[in-house]
Amino acid sequence: MVSPEGLPKYERICKENDIKSLFDQGVGVSVYPYRAVFLFHSNASRPVTVRLLVSVSKKRFHHAISRNRVKRLMREAWRRNKAPLYEICQRDNISVDVALVYTATVIHTYGELLNKTQKAVLEIGKWYEKHSKATR
RNA sequence: CGAUUCAGGCAGACUGUCGCGGGUCGGGAAAGCCGGCGCGAGGAAAGUCGGGACAGCACAGAGCACCAUACUUCUUAACAGGAAGGUGCCCGCAAGGGCAACAGCAAGUGCCACAGAAACAUACCGCCUUGAGCAAGUCGAAGGGUAAGGGUGAAAACGCGAGGUAAGAGCUCACGCAUCGGGUGGCGACAUUCCGGUGAGGUAAACCUUAUGGGCUGCAAGUCCAAGUAUAGAGACAAUGGGGCCUCGGCCUCGAACGGGCUGCUCGUCCGUCGUCUCAGGGUAGGGCGCUUGAGCCUGCGGGCGACCGCAGGCCUAGAGAAAUGACAGUCGCCCCGCAAGGGGAACAGAAUCCCGCUUAUUCGCCUGUAUCGCUAA
RNA sequence: GGCCUAAUAGUUCAAGGGAUAGAACGGAAGUUUCCUAAACUUUAAAUCUAGGUUCGAGUCCUAGUUGGGCUA
């Protein structure tokens, strides 16, 4: 169950334990202006999900309004671009958690972020294809 | 018309598509389901600087310590806030505005570097006087008087003039200044062309004194739920140094040591001490409540110079929780540049328990009214 | 979110309201050596910012800025 263009609550990571396991066991990939950390996991009892966590450091943006602005743009861009990843998960019946950490020090425009997020999604997809073949 | 002053207000609007968080209504057995309706950041939401509400903990009592406040009268739930006023200083041609750590060094103590004789009662130079002495002078050992002058310093005996004197000195007088007491005016701070006394260095953002107030911690407060088990707690049994009693393993009494409580200390006072069993049940992660109806907002009338208060009617206006309030497109409005086509711009900034204040940030922003100054015309 | 706390040379710390802000390590230059090290001599470098109190602030007061800590 994944909404194609929406981003409801169950597609966001909220639990402390989930975040811990994601950052402990997840794989990190750097796609400017992001650092993406993701973890594929399968759970038969629960439906397939593609979940997101966005993070903007207080060190890079001192004001709350700038952090909120960046996070909103990131969520919007993710919402528009997550479809390919969802298709992969649906096909192999596997879930994925993704954390996007914003590493740039300037606020990029929505258009740029749309582009970069697409790249990041494809990167994650590629990684999965490669490793799923290797394990098989 | 231009430049200001003060007071108050605003912080672009609308439409469409996609998306998010609560609420509510309907469908559905139910869901992280579907559909409709309606709501969804600020004047500072910020800093967390005051003050409350609310919550938990603590609380026999006394004293000390500690912290805060500090012109007056009002106002407020309260405040280091606000209003009106007094005093002093500063800015502006003016309308007006700003600042005050505006109680007390005349209660006590401390400090005042360097310089200077002396930094609180002192004689270095100087002035005046007595004049041992012999070289008999414009000499001067030693003593006394003196704060007018010099010099030092941030600061030196109230200032200035006259009288007075050996020389001087509030020593005396006139004028002025400061301060204390009384009178008068004012609720009061205070004012005063009134009367009398006094003349005392500064520093309390030095210790301190006086007056008033103050338990501590903060929604990550706190509380409930299901799962689950460490052992703080409760109950029962049992249990210690001296003395006494007796039915000989219990009771009474006294004292000491250690630890702890009375949210800083002292007095004073209270409690506990080792083991076993049973009951009960901590922390952590998850979820619910706290969580938004409130010292609330709007309108009208009345009271008050005003802050503000009273009455009547109406309204419900974010409530998240790894944390919603977003993206794109278009139209119109505003500001700037430009003859025009057109181009550019729109600040500071994002709720986190809730209020009242303060402070800081904010576009050569905009609107309304008040007053002042300047120019032009009648 | 709430509550505390600090800021002095490049670094770690000193400094009763009183001259030119001190010490150690580090840096630079020199002496010594064939060269380096060690040793010795010399030297540069700082009070977070803005107001105020005071004759005079690193120190006292107010506001701001930037760090650090505690709290589930």
Give me the interface pTM, i.e. the ipTM: 0.75
For A67-82, how does the pLDDT look when each residue is reduced to its tens digit (9 = 90+)? 888 888 888 888 888 8
Spatial separation of the C-alpha atoms in residues A99 and A26, rounded to whole Å: 9
- Kindly determine whether the C-beta of residue A72 is less than 7 Å away from any atom of nucleic acid strand B: yes
- Report the CATH number that the domain containing residue A104 is assigned in CATH: 3.30.230.10
In a domain, A94, yes or no: yes
In a domain, A3, yes or no: no
Q: Which amino acid does the sequence have at A54?
A: V
- Kindly determine whether the C-beta of residue A123 is less than 7 Å away from any atom of nucleic acid strand B: no
Burial-class residue A23 by CB neighbours within 10 Å (0-12, 13-18, 19+): middle
Helix axes A64-81, A110-135, angle to 10 degrees: 60
The parent domain of residue A27 ranges over 9-135
CA A112 to C1' B311 (Å) is: 62
Instruction: Tell me which nucleotides of strand B come within 7 A of a protein CB.
Output: 18-22, 32-33, 41, 45, 285-287, 321-328, 349-351
CA of A49: nearest nucleotide by C1' is B32
In a domain, A95, yes or no: yes
Asked whether the whole model's pTM tops 0.80, one would answer no
Give the number of domains in chain A.
Answer: 1
Specify which residues A45 forms β-bridges with.
none
- Token pair 């258009």 in the structure block, residue: A111
